[in-house]
């Protein structure tokens, strides 16, 4: 078997440091919002290149709280994409806002700036740029649109750890960068977790209020908040993995280059590397018109795979009320019908990549 994702090789490599971090927390007497969270917030903000970070319970919470922190209120509209799964849309709805979907470009499958203009209305307050698969969204164009229309630009970096737009890490272009530490991410916890980063001290302070019921130093709520805290144990484990993140990112780059080289002559559509910056390769996503046959070939050989994502959000039953009928986002819908994610994670053997390639190309 070749699993689609396996956290165990990296754990085995870092076992001594991870086990020591776990013992440190369990022996400390402090499990929630203690020194490990504070240290991780400082270290993560420094790595991203932001002035501050606020740890929260998940990537979805990070985006929900970021929307609230920048002033998005019930009834406001937020523009994003429909090919990134339910989480960004769930976050927008959790903030009380209404999602509006832009289409994506056919090359990178990222939000298409040209499709945003027709969606802007007097109720529009923000644009959420999703850095899908580890490739940066077109931030320069999005920033210009946001400035022209007086909108807030937020970045969904759940798949963007280590991704760069030009020379700068993603998460540092919008008002807030929102990260997930779900186990499969480039920087993954051993459970759920998330963080917001920002250069704005007022936004950072508001995020700290929102993540814990609006408390400051007592149990009197200053604003209406919620319970969304990154716990000490996950923070400690993330600190270990953050210290090794560049090696993990290089391992992903090496595996991606092996796939790109081996599949170059196939009839699959392969990821396109950005002209500048860095693709973080959270996922290695190909496109196949005959996806079902490719999946069958992988399954026969015991090879795991993913589809990110099979159903565009506007076609999901829960979100039909948003008024984007089937056919309204043609590039998004084509993408969801053809994308196929291949195994890629630190510790995946070169021989496993070769087996995946053989399975896919046996039908070419």
Interval 257-271: pLDDT, tens? 999 999 999 999 999
Confidence of residue 219 (pLDDT cuts 50, 70, 90): confident
Paired tokens of 276? 């500048």
Tell me, what's the pLDDT at 218?
82
Average pLDDT over residues 52-72: 98
**Tokens standing for residue 200:** 């704005």
Q: What confidence tier does 97 reach under pLDDT thresholds 50, 70, 90?
A: very high
Query: Residue holding tokens 């759920």?
Result: 192
Closest residue by Cα to residue 319 from 331, 305, 307, 309: 309
Tell how far CA 90 is from the center of its chain. Answer: 14
Strands 176-180 and 194-198: antiparallel
Please compute the mean of the pLDDT values over residues 106-113 and round it to a whole number: 97
Average pLDDT over residues 63-92: 98
The whole-number pLDDT of residue 34 equals: 96
Q: How confident is the model at residue 102 (pLDDT cuts 50, 70, 90)?
A: very high
Within 8 A by CB and 6+ apart from 197, the residues are 44, 45, 48, 50, 52, 53, 54, 171, 172, 176, 177, 179
Q: How many helices (H) and strands (E) does the chain have?
A: 11, 11
**Mean of pLDDT values over 202-220:** 94
Q: What is the mean pLDDT of residues 89-104?
A: 98
Average pLDDT of 191-207? 98
142: pLDDT strictly greater than 80: yes
Q: What confidence score (pLDDT) does residue 52 get?
A: 98
Paired residues of 101 in beta bridges:
80
Q: 363 pLDDT exceeds 80?
A: no
pLDDT on residue 5 = 98
Q: What is the pLDDT at residue 217?
A: 81
Work out the mean pLDDT of the chain and round it to a whole number: 97
Domains of the chain, earliest start first = 8-102+109-242 (3.40.640.10), 245-361 (3.90.1150.10)
Q: How far apart, in whole angstroms, are the C-alpha atoms of residue 69 and residue 52?
A: 14
Strands 284-287 and 52-56: unpaired
pLDDT band at 364 (very low <50, low <70, confident <90, very high): low
Buried-state track 241-262, b at ≥16 Cβ within 10 A, e below 16: bbebbeebbebbeebbebbeeb
- The mean pLDDT of 170-189, rounded to a whole number, is 98
Mean pLDDT of 55-66: 98
Kindly report, residue by residue over 313-326, the tens digit of the pLDDT.
999 999 999 999 98
Q: Tell whether the model's pLDDT for residue 58 goes beyond 70.
A: yes
Taking residues 101-121, report their average pLDDT.
Answer: 97
């Amino acid at each position: 078997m070749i699993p689609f994702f396996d956290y165990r090789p990296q754990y085995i490599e870092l076992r001594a440091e991870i086990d020591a971090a776990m013992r440190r927390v369990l022996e400390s007497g402090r499990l929630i919002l203690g020194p490990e969270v504070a240290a991780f917030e400082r270290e993560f903000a420094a790595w991203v290149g932001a002035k501050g970070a606020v740890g929260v319970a998940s990537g979805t919470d990070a985006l929900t709280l970021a929307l609230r922190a920048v002033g998005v209120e019930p009834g406001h509209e937020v523009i994003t994409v429909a090919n990134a799964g339910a989480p960004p849309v769930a976050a927008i709805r959790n903030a009380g806002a209404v999602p509006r979907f832009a289409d994506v470009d056919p090359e990178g499958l990222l939000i298409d700036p040209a499709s945003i203009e027709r969606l802007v209305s007097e109720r529009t307050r923000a644009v959420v740029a999703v850095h899908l698969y580890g490739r940066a969204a077109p931030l320069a164009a999005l920033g210009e649109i946001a400035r022209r229309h007086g909108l807030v630009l937020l970045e969904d970096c759940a798949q963007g750890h280590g991704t760069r737009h030009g020379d700068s890490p993603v998460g540092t272009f919008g008002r807030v960068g929102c990260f997930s530490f779900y186990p499969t991410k480039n920087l993954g916890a051993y459970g759920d977790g998330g963080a917001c980063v920002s250069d704005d001290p007022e936004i950072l302070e508001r995020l700290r209020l929102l993540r814990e019921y609006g408390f400051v130093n007592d149990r009197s709520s200053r604003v209406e908040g919620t319970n969304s805290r990154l716990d000490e144990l996950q923070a400690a484990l993330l600190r270990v993995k953050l210290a090794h993140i560049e090696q993990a990112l290089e391992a992903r780059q090496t595996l991606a280059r092996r796939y790109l080289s081996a599949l170059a002559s196939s009839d699959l559509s392969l990821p396109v590397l950005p002209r500048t910056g860095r693709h973080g390769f959270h996922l290695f996503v190909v496109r196949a018109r005959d996806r079902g046959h490719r999946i069958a070939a992988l399954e026969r050989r015991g090879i795991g795979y993913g589809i990110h994502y099979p159903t565009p959000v506007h076609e999901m039953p829960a979100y039909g009320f948003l008024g984007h009928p089937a056919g309204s986002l043609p590039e998004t819908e084509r993408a969801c019908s053809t994308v196929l994610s291949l195994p890629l994670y630190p510790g995946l053997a070169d021989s496993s990549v070769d087996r995946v390639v053989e399975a896919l190309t046996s039908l070419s």
